[in-house]
Structure 1
Amino acid sequence: MPVDLSHEPRVAELAERTAQFVREVVVPEEERFGGVAAAGGDAMRTRLQSAAKQAGLFAPHVSPEYGGHGLDMRGRAAVFEETGWSLFGPLALNIAAPDEGNMHLLEAVASPAQKETYLRPLAQGEIRSCFAMTEPAPGAGSDPAALSTMARRVAGGWRIDGRKWFITGADGAAFAICMARTSGDPGDRGGATMFLVDAANPGMKIVRHIDTLDESMYGGHCEVVFDNCVVPDEAVLGEVDKGYDYAQVRLGPARMTHCMRWLGIARRAQEIALARASERRLFGSRLGDLGMVQGMIADSEIDLAAARALTLQACWELDNGGSGAQSTGIAKAFTAEAVWRVVDRSVQICGALGISGDVLLGRFLREIRPFRIYDGPTETHRWAIARRALRRAAGSAR
């Protein structure tokens, strides 16, 4: 059967217009201000999102019912990569983490009333959100089953108690999707439930911003305490004790959209390195004529192509109803390491310029590095990939 890797015309056209918009509208903002806070915070977000709406590019992943383009995962791959050319690009098109993943989850799981209350304003950029799952040790992290935040039934609803940290976007979020244990004990593979918690709830408090390498995640990475946080029964997202199942609905696609966005930054880093290698002269020739530099350029081209192919394969599986557990794990593990290598090589090729503030490579390096940890560290994915392969081999032997 022939394999066609081209995108349908409407997706290709949307990706092309996105690339132009990001380069002409978004990149100048990024180069002028550097960080999100310096660019004006929420005022900058509103300004860029308004421009994206006027350009007809806003929310490409959301269904038309909620104002988006309704792209499937393969369509998102083309558009999100172009958006990722700038650190501000995903924010401009309303596809930044964690909001993009939360929209995907809410479309799949939320009730009609919850969609109107939470999904519609989120998809339109009127509010932001966060996803509260990760906990300080010994709580949930690489092992979600270690979940220790508890939710107990009270009159008319639930009381949530626990501590979360590295909750991206919590500062300024209108609501959180909080994962809490409703049955069993930490270490059990079931018994989790998702709750929609409004930021105005007095039982949910941000206690600090965690200082991290990266700065482009809007709303920071926060430590959040749920203390006697009472929510009504209507706050349950989906069904009680089905939280781990819903987490897979969100996490597989979210891993892939991270890969798509960071591929954009890696491509931009490679372009900066190529420009430098083409113009810089030393030892009587161009930098790009040196064999060692050519080797680095070639390795980066290979990393970019392989990461894109693995991401598309995983997206194809998700679009066709597959679990995507193995393919998304492989794609995430490879892409996280590959984009790091590409940006790191670009810094090296550019030499002193690469570590200066005259180009953004140093910033890209800081932003890329945490991707090897969040959404599952590379080592955890490799462990899970090997376990699945061994189970498959054992099944074949039987």
Structure 2
Amino acid sequence: MAELCTRMRSFVDDEVIPLEAELSRQDDDGAAALDGLKRRAKELGLWALGHPEEIGGGGVPFLDFVYLNEIIGRSEFGQLAVGSVSMQDALMLHRHGTEEQRRRWVPGLVSGEILPSVGMTEPEVAGSDPVLVQTTARQDGDEWVINGHKWFTTGARQAAFCTVFARTEPDSTPLHRSISAVIVPTDTPGFEIVRSVPTMGYDPSDHYEVRYTDVIVPMGNVLGGRGNGFLVAQDRLGPGRIFHCMRWLGQAQRAFELMCDRANSRFAHGSVLADKGEIQRYVAESAAQIQAARLMTLDAARVMDAGDDARVQIGLIKFWGARMLHDVVDRAIQVHGALGLTADTPLEAMYRRARYARIYDGPDEVHRMSTARRMLRDPERVPWR
């Protein structure tokens, strides 16, 4: 495992990071550069390592892959370059899909020939409360007719399909049994990409507003059975949140390295910045936050890998990891001064992504509330027991 981590670190640092400016342009040259990185990752044996062997992946165990994902996260393009971007959806289909669904979609996800997307968040209702979903899928014979409005459907324009969460059951059904996950190929008539949603300086961004107008798909496109949308979503989001947290660690570690390099080389007010007590405090506090978040994340992965209920551990690290990333990047920008505000370093983009982290996959406030409630109901569930 150590040797594999070393090879992954060399690939990300020496081959992916130098191409970040080109990759971020989202033009033909950027697409060609990404294709080249994908080929290179496959040549090096670094492709789809966390996908199970039975679906064509590398079969690296979950806990071991967490270490790799920490390295992959050093670049925002890392997961695209090594094929891990499809892992959550490939696992979701592998666990909950029918034989036909797995046959149609999983091989392309693992090989990187296609990309997935998920339609959950809606602009008209609070995304932090999924029972409010208004998109509907109405049964008409042996077909679903879907109507609704989603946004922040990440990657929708490039995706081959979107897993849409829609209300399928009668109003009398308990809310948590009323939503189903329905697979919608993105070339289906009525699937309309309205726009790329401008977000915090990204225009275009990878987040799309999508309308569903009488979108017709077969009844067999339900994933995991009718009314099981929340089960499917949680089974996807649990490991995904751990992966997010590990990638945030990679970003924070890179920001920490940039901060230390700057502190050791920048001269101001009679000495290098590294000699200033306040800068030393930044370094020490950042290192402590990174290490605390890393150990918490590994513990959450350990509990999940053992097959135990890891909801408390995942909830804690989701809001703690997001705060850690923000704080470390913020200090690194401060040490860089005006340079940190420019695109001459990756820090300003990292800062924006750190702000996203406190909202997506559940806002910090919800994770704090739900985690506290679980521990108050059962104090034995505190993570140190």
Normalised-by-shorter TM-score class = over 0.9
Give the equivalent residue in structure 2 for 1:108.
Answer: 95
Give the equivalent residue in structure 2 for 1:157.
Answer: 143
Map of 1:121-140 to 2, 5 A cutoff? Answer: 121-138=108-125
Q: Could you tell me which of 204, 209, 212 is aligned with 2:199?
A: 212
For residue 106 of structure 2, give the secondary structure of its aligned residue in structure 1. Answer: helix
Cα distance between partner residues in 2 of 1:271 and 1:39: 32
What's the offset of the Cα at 1:213? 2.1
Cα distance between partner residues in 2 of 1:214 and 1:237: 35
Cα distance between partner residues in 2 of 1:55 and 1:346: 33
Q: TM-score, normalised by structure 2?
A: 0.94
Cα distance between partner residues in 1 of 2:254 and 2:167: 42
1:143 aligns with 2:129: yes
Work out whether residues 66 and 124 of structure 1, in 8 Å CA contact, stay in contact via their aligned partners in 2. no
Cα distance between partner residues in 1 of 2:379 and 2:238: 24
Work out whether residues 265 and 364 of structure 1, in 8 Å CA contact, stay in contact via their aligned partners in 2. yes
Work out whether residues 375 and 381 of structure 2, in 8 Å CA contact, stay in contact via their aligned partners in 1. no
Cα distance between partner residues in 2 of 1:256 and 1:153: 36
Work out whether residues 198 and 205 of structure 2, in 8 Å CA contact, stay in contact via their aligned partners in 1. no
Give the equivalent residue in structure 2 for 1:8.
Answer: none
Q: Could you tell me which of 367, 371, 375 is aligned with 1:385?
A: 371
Quote the sequence identity (%). 38
Cα distance between partner residues in 1 of 2:176 and 2:98: 25
Give the equivalent residue in structure 2 for 1:169.
Answer: 155
Map of 1:197-276 to 2, 5 A cutoff? Answer: 197-213=184-200, 215=202, 220-276=206-262
What's the offset of the Cα at 1:204? 1.3
1:13 aligns with 2:3: yes
1:299 aligns with 2:289: no
Give the equivalent residue in structure 2 for 1:25.
Answer: 15
Give the equivalent residue in structure 2 for 1:312.
Answer: 298
What's the offset of the Cα at 1:331? 0.7
Provide the aligned C-alpha RMSD in A: 2.1
Cα distance between partner residues in 2 of 1:13 and 1:92: 19
> One-letter code of the match for 1:122?
L
What's the offset of the Cα at 1:395? 11
What's the offset of the Cα at 1:146? 0.9
What's the offset of the Cα at 1:393? 4.7
What's the offset of the Cα at 1:39? 7.1
Map of 1:369-384 to 2, 5 A cutoff? Answer: 369-384=355-370
For residue 70 of structure 1, give the secondary structure of its aligned residue in structure 2. Answer: coil
Q: TM-score, normalised by structure 1?
A: 0.91
What's the offset of the Cα at 1:356? 2.5
What's the offset of the Cα at 1:385? 1.4
1:358 aligns with 2:331: no
What's the offset of the Cα at 1:367? 2.1
> One-letter code of the match for 1:311?
T
What's the offset of the Cα at 1:333? 0.7
Work out whether residues 189 and 215 of structure 2, in 8 Å CA contact, stay in contact via their aligned partners in 1. yes
- Over 3 Å counting, the alpha-carbon distance change for 1:184 and 1:214 in structure 2 is farther
What stretches of structure 1 of length at least 5 have no aligned partner? 1-10
